[in-house]
């Protein structure tokens, strides 16, 4: 009987966002909430695994986190646009809209798992 194996390309933006997210959460735990540094290190390591489990297991979380991270990238680039021109917010708004759309576009391949996967069938003996 033939078995199927599904291979999927890795999305680098998702890996980057999960590491940035866990680093920010760990930093807030240590600096603002004054949690012990060992717990912050554990959270720095464990949060990406929890993030990936939730992202790939629950569809609602996948859509929610994609929109929130895209808004986050939009805010980052809004700040960069404001740094270029403090008086006129046009550059900042354009940067934020372009980065939001680019972030949504880069996340799109995480929503079509089987459609974009390579399917290899083999016989086991």
> Over the stretch 17-47, which tens digit does the pLDDT of each residue have?
889 999 999 999 999 999 999 999 999 999 9
E runs forming strands in 1-125: 2-7, 118-123
pLDDT at 99 over 70: yes
Same structural domain, 63 and 105: yes
The residue among 23 and 52 whose pLDDT is bigger is 23
Please, which residues bridge with residue 119 across strands? 6
User: Which pLDDT belongs to residue 3?
Assistant: 58
Position 52 scores a pLDDT of 86
Total structural domains within the chain: 2
pLDDT for 79 equals 94
Domain-located, residue 49: yes
Record the pTM.
0.74
**Inter-residue contact 103 to 78 (CB < 8 Å):** no
Range of the domain at 23: 10-56
């Amino acid at each position: 009987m033939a078995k199927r194996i599904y291979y999927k390309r890795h999305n680098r933006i998702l890996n980057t966002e999960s590491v940035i997210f866990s680093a920010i959460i760990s930093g807030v735990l240590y600096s603002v909430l004054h949690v012990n540094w060992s717990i912050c290190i554990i959270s720095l390591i464990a949060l990406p695994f929890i993030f990936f489990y939730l992202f790939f297991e629950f569809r609602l979380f996948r859509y929610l986190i994609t929109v929130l991270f895209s808004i986050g990238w939009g805010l980052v680039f809004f700040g960069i646009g404001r740094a270029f021109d403090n008086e006129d917010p046009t550059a900042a708004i354009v940067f934020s809209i372009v980065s939001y759309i680019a972030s949504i576009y880069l996340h799109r391949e995480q929503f079509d798992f089987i459609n974009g996967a390579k399917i290899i069938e083999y016989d086991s003996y």
